[in-house]
Amino acid sequence: MEQNNPMSQPPSQSRFDRPPVIAPGHSFGSITDKISSIVLRKDTPKGWILGFGIAFIFVMMMMYAIAWLLMWGVGVWGLNNPVAWGFDITNFVWWVGIGHAGTLISAILLLLKQEWRTSINRFAEAMTLFAVACAGMFPALHTGRPWFDYWLMPYPNTMALWPQFRSPLVWDVFAISTYGTVSFLFWYVGLIPDLATLRDRTEHKGLKIVYGLLAMGWRGSAKHWFRYETAYLLLAGLATPLVVSVHTVVSFDFATSVIPGWHTTFFPPYFVAGAIFSGFAMVLTLAIPIRKAYGLEDFITMRHIENMAKVMLATGLIVAYAYVMEVFFAWYSGNSYEKFLAFDTRPKGPYWWAFWALWTCNIAIPQLLWFKKMRTTPWILWILSIIVNIGMWLERFVIIVTSLHRDYLPSSWGMYDPTKYEYMLFFGTIGLFVALLFLFIRSLPLISIFEMRTLLPEASVHHKEEH
């Protein structure tokens, strides 16, 4: 660090005229106090109870929708013959995409030494985990006989049958389960030093034991730190390809098929960009209110907010390019089915509203991010991020439903009208996601304490030398 007076001049301000990654005036102690107090405070804030309560009602609604589904069959949804996938896979892809920002922030930005990631990586990773949990529910429940879902796993069995390895759904099983596992390990390993901090600071005996067990005997010795750094870097290395591979595999569900609108070679990069786009939108959707509610403006600064907005703008442009190219390819290929889809079914067919809403949400509105004012006004950014979330959901809906409802033979064309059970399950998973986040905020440090401390000038070797 070049700044020798951190109290009066934020780091890097002089060079880039950017807000700092940590507000001035903090010490090691104040960071630890501030973050751990959110978890260790004795009284649960009323706002937390209210928020969690509402989310919990949605979880109950989800349980009801699942029970009804298991009782009667997947027919309680509005799926039918041409449109055999609807909300189920739309939601699945949407949730998986949301998870991507967490992995990108924690792994890739770590490897790229983007230290501004530090204050948002923890809850972005938690978000990834919870999003993957929500995502996993849909493919598991959407099958006709969910009690046989385990047949998709390769396991030795008396039927001497393996899954069909050519099927992208089997690739999905591997991709999602790997993703879930690595994300969990990465998140957990990153938590260990902080768990030890909590163990040391809590006064509650029971919690001491719980945090103690979870901290796995962390004492903060140099050896521990050495091992920890190595493991964390390795996991980051493992997680990095997943950012690209998971959504690539998910896109194969569509790209390997023969259905116009699905059968598209550029789906993998398009899906990955879309995933990061939606992931950052979701991180913003969560970070902006959390930072406000818990007074974390010092740790999640404007610099973070603006950086995330920039990533959104960049990935949004990739997505916009993909949308345009999809139409161009349809025209350029001369394939009449593709052309009909791109120029007739999607913009003019019965789901025209979804198509145009998608272009509005994902192409038109994100262009506002070119303006610094928009990137740095939290409430505007928050609304923008929600619009992008909606847009990304619509993208999957348009890809899945409009492609299926009118494919090759006009005689088989149909319509898809989602039922209340699909809405209940979808909003129920949002409830689950929020409920899990509330639990996470209350029980674990939502910002990495020890990594935040490294951001302080005092942590810098040069800083010490100068004193």
Stretch that binds other proteins, among 26-34, 211-219, 298-306, 336-344 (CB under 8 A): 336-344
Q: Residue 361 in contact with residue 394, Cβ under 8 Å? A: yes
Min CB(275)–other proteins separation in Å: 21
Burial of residue 301, with CB atoms counted within 10 A of its CB: 0-12 exposed, 13-18 middle, 19 or more buried: buried
Please report whether residue 68 would count as binding other proteins according to CB under 8 A. Answer: no
Helix (H) or strand (E) holding 240: helix 222-255
How many angstroms separate the CA atoms of 76 and 420, rounded?
9
Closer residue to other proteins, CB minimum distance, 93 or 173: 173
Min CB(428)–other proteins separation in Å: 21
How many angstroms separate the CA atoms of 147 and 69, rounded?
12
Please report whether residue 378 would count as binding other proteins according to CB under 8 A. Answer: no
Please report whether residue 412 would count as binding other proteins according to CB under 8 A. Answer: yes
Closer residue to other proteins, CB minimum distance, 184 or 356: 356
Restricted to residues 267-286, the positions that interact with other proteins (CB under 8 A) are none
**Whole-number Cα distances in Å, 268 to 173, 246, 319, 429:** 17, 9, 11, 26
First to last CA, the chain: 13
Please report whether residue 347 would count as binding other proteins according to CB under 8 A. Answer: no
Q: Residue 289 in contact with residue 382, Cβ under 8 Å? A: yes
How many angstroms separate the CA atoms of 235 and 233, rounded?
5
Residue of 225, 332, 371, 408 interacting with other proteins (CB under 8 A): 408
Please report whether residue 334 would count as binding other proteins according to CB under 8 A. Answer: yes
Please report whether residue 413 would count as binding other proteins according to CB under 8 A. Answer: yes
CA atoms within 13 A on the CB side of 420: 3
Q: Give how many residues touch other proteins by CB under 8 A.
A: 55
**46-52: long-range contacts at Cβ-Cβ below 8 A with a sequence spacing of 24 or more?**
47/293, 48/438, 48/441, 48/442, 51/434, 51/438, 52/435, 52/438, 52/439, 52/442
Min CB(56)–other proteins separation in Å: 30
**Whole-number Cα distances in Å, 59 to 95, 133, 134, 427:** 16, 13, 11, 9
Residue of 33, 115, 149, 200 interacting with other proteins (CB under 8 A): 149
| Residues 159-198: x where in contact with other proteins by CB under 8 A, - otherwise, as a string | --xxxx-xxxxx--x-------------------------
Residue of 78, 212, 289, 347 interacting with other proteins (CB under 8 A): 78
Q: Cβ neighbours of residue 387 under 8 Å, at least 6 residues apart?
A: 361, 365
Find where tokens 């990153």 sit.
190
Residue of 23, 84, 189, 365 interacting with other proteins (CB under 8 A): 84
Min CB(117)–other proteins separation in Å: 36
Please report whether residue 142 would count as binding other proteins according to CB under 8 A. Answer: yes
Please report whether residue 143 would count as binding other proteins according to CB under 8 A. Answer: yes
Footprint on this chain of other proteins (rule: CB under 8 A): 72-75, 78-85, 139, 142-145, 148-149, 151-152, 161-164, 166-170, 173, 253, 256-259, 334-337, 340, 344, 349-350, 404, 407-415, 417
